[in-house]
Amino acid sequence: MKFWATLDPRLKGIAVLVLLAFFPFIDRNAAHLNFLADAATFVLLALGLNIVVGFAGLLDLGYAAFFAIGSYAYAMLASPQFNVHIPFWVMLLIAPTITAIFGVLLGAPTLRLRGDYLAIVTLGFGEIVPQTFLNLSQWTNGPNGISALDAPVLFNYKFGLHTLPYFYVGLFLLAVAIIIVHNLQDSRLGRSWMAIREDELAAAHMGINTTKAKLSAFALGASFSGLAGVAYASKLNLVSPDNFQFNVSIFVLSMLVLGGMGNIYGVIIGSLLLSSLERFILPQATLFAHNLGFMNVDFSQFRFMMYGIILVSIMLFRPEGLFPSRQRKAELHVAEIDEALALQEQSLYEEAVH
């Protein structure tokens, strides 16, 4: 245990992913593998949003827009839609670049906005993008979406509809994402983001280029969404505007709030918990209710109410999240820390007097 405690956080994450690589040999249930492959996509989304919200403190309510852009980029450039067939592995570089550019385009006009105003603008962007893809029917097939996407190929092995290769692709992308996010967090840019999150005016007076830092946060956060979009579209073999509505942005943001903003592994755990709630717990609860004779009960229809209950409970009883970073926890409990320090000083004073 002492060795594990002293291990670098990056290596801890990679070690867990290596252990997960043996999961298919333990559990051969295709539904479980399919769930983990889909969950990896949402973990990527959560890690990207954590850069924007958790590190830089920029509230983004339209993150699903970048997810849509990454997915449609793959659908248009790796399908018969335009008779362009760029390989999946190349698209893992192209799609994040495209979404990063759109991240800068969104960030540039919103640099002076903060708090609620920034949230409203990003919300509008999140609503505009799916509607744009819906209305450009001559290129996107409108509500029908784009289907028959090219399946990834690795050494002449076509993934097709097999779940197992997508599971391993998800693990690979998560390993890369964890390393990148850890390096960003410990970098000069990452410290600049955290300074902006605490007090943007003070950060600017300390010499931090807030414009560059905020644009970098939007671009890098969007690029993670582009990666997730490629993985999602290739596995589903279909993209449709219905898959990128406002509820996706709220779902991913809820993962951050539940797990703990700013804490990489807290965000990952929060993602897995909410994904499990939607994919396993609520459907199983519905099946259990049907077995008891409550045929009209479908708990899946109440999932947004469940998310609301979870978020309200977290805000009331543990606002820093289930697994917060030390810094974030200290920020939200300043009064308690000050009180504890005052009691400690008083105790030391009394001991000195006596």
Amino acid at 259: G
Token digits for 167?
A: 């599971």
pLDDT at 354: 60
**Closest Cα partner for 101 from 76, 81, 73, 82?**
73
pLDDT digits (tens, 9 = 90+) for 32-85: 899 999 999 999 999 999 999 999 989 899 999 999 999 999 999 999 888 889
- Domains recognised in the chain with CATH numbers: 2-273 (1.10.3470)
Token digits for 185?
A: 């967090």
DSSP letter (8 states) at residue 206: T
pLDDT at 300: 80
For residues 87 and 96, what is the distance between their CA atoms, to the nearest angstrom?
Answer: 15
Question: What's the distance, Cα to Cα, between the start and end of the chain in Å?
Answer: 42
pLDDT at 30: 85
pLDDT at 25: 87
pLDDT at 198: 85
pLDDT at 328: 61
Per-run averaged pLDDT (10 residues), the chain, 354 residues: 59 77 86 90 95 91 94 93 92 95 89 83 91 92 91 89 91 92 91 89 89 92 95 92 90 90 89 88 82 77 82 85 71 57 66 65
pLDDT at 37: 92
Transcribe 77-119 into DSSP letters. Answer: HEETTTTEE--HHHHHHHHHHHHHHHHHHHHGGGTT--HHHHH
Tell me what the pLDDT averaged over the chain comes to: 86
Displacement of CA 189 from its chain's centroid (Å): 20
pLDDT at 289: 81
